[in-house]
């Protein structure tokens, strides 16, 4: 294991940024989100939950897909992916265990056949440096999904205490990155990391949501859960905004639209939200006409539909962003507690 003093972190960032893009939690106008590092930016690794999740780096909120140009009767389709693949790799620095797990959830969607090449290119180019949590919050419940926040995976895993950042490469990509920055590090830190893991694990055990009982969310209970009478009451206060879906690290729905430029047409995709009334709007109208149905769709997808197609893997990772951000304090925890197993009381 390697370590670097926290006051030297800026050198580390600078070193990485010399040869590739460095995305890191940066504070801007009061809020912390992943952004490209540059000298003078206010890095905030301590921030437990960035507003937008790191999925934005692999599956951006808006992504241009192709261009069309017409000349007379000819239509030219311009592939704009090339620009991206030729770019150098980039580093996502400080990804938490839940968010890392969320990328696994996205992989199962975008990398399954037919492969989403836009996502794939970004995934190939990205090196993920995770950061273990040391101060989880009341809204965290990754443990309920079997995620260990004290030792996340990723290409490189890091831990941070008051004085040092500890570094451990896990993959080939991680080794390559380590080789690039090795000079800044010294050996050591095993004991500190072990101690931190223990302390954090103890805090996680005390978190109010750590022991949510998910036992009822199984494919065989699909009909029963779908028809539960509680949905009506649970969704009553839902505004139908997209906050939960847009801050969610695993929400993966998108819409494809065209934009007319002076030169032709730009086709882009952007995040969509199943909470919206025009989501999956078709010629005949909308498939889900009430907010209750939309609300139910989101949580059924996270807890039942997705796991039934992916060997029981839930598409919620317990990051708790929706818990913090829902305008009316609705969230997945309340759904789990209402419809989940009986050990939730």
Q: Which residues in this chain contact other proteins in the complex, by CB under 8 A?
A: 28-31, 33, 48, 51-52, 61-62, 135-138, 203, 206-209, 233, 236-237, 239-243, 245-247, 255, 257, 259-264, 266, 268, 270-273, 276-278, 281, 323, 325, 327-330, 333-334, 337
CB closer to other proteins, 2 vs 234: 234
CB closer to other proteins, 134 vs 168: 134
CB closer to other proteins, 218 vs 334: 334
- Least separation in angstroms between residue 168's CB and other proteins is 26
CB closer to other proteins, 201 vs 222: 201
CB closer to other proteins, 168 vs 297: 297
- Least separation in angstroms between residue 29's CB and other proteins is 5
- Least separation in angstroms between residue 16's CB and other proteins is 24
Q: How many CB atoms lie within 10 A of CB 287?
A: 12
- Least separation in angstroms between residue 181's CB and other proteins is 30
- Rounded-to-integer distance, Cα 149 and Cα 210, Å: 12
- Rounded-to-integer distance, Cα 315 and Cα 299, Å: 10
- Least separation in angstroms between residue 52's CB and other proteins is 6
Q: How many CB atoms lie within 10 A of CB 186?
A: 10
């Amino acid at each position: 294991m390697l370590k670097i003093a926290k006051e030297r972190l800026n050198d580390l960032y600078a070193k990485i940024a010399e040869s590739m893009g460095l995305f890191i939690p940066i504070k801007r106008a009061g809020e912390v989100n992943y952004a490209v590092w540059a000298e003078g930016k206010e890095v905030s690794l301590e921030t437990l939950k960035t507003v937008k999740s790191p999925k934005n780096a692999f599956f951006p909120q808006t992504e241009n897909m192709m261009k069309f140009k017409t000349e007379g009767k000819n239509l030219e389709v311009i592939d704009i992916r090339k620009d991206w693949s030729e770019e150098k790799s980039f580093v996502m620095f400080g990804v938490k265990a839940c968010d890392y797990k969320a990328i696994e959830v996205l992989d199962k969607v975008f990398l399954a056949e037919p492969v989403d090449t836009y996502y794939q290119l970004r995934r190939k180019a990205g090196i993920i440096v995770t950061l273990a949590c040391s101060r989880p919050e009341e809204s965290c419940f990754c443990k309920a999904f079997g995620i260990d926040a004290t030792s996340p995976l990723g290409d490189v895993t890091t831990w941070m205490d008051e004085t040092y950042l500890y570094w451990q490469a896990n993959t080939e990509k991680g080794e390559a990155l380590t080789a690039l920055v090795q000079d800044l590090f010294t050996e050591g830190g095993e004991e500190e990391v072990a101690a931190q893991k223990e302390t954090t694990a103890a805090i996680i055990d005390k978190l109010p949501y750590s022991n949510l009982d998910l036992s009822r969310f199984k494919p065989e209970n699909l009909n029963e859960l779908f028809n539960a009478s509680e949905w009506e009451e649970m969704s009553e206060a839902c505004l139908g905004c997209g906050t939960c879906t847009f801050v969610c690290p695993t929400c993966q729905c998108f819409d494809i639209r065209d934009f007319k430029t002076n030169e032709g047409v730009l086709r882009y995709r952007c995040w969509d939200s199943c909470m919206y009334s025009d989501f999956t709007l078709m010629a005949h109208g909308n498939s889900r006409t009430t907010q209750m149905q939309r609300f139910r769709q989101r949580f059924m997808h996270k807890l039942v539909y997705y796991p039934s197609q992916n060997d029981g893997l839930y598409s919620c990772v317990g990051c708790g962003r929706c818990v913090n951000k829902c305008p009316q304090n609705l969230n997945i925890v309340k759904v789990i507690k209402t419809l989940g197993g009986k050990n939730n009381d």
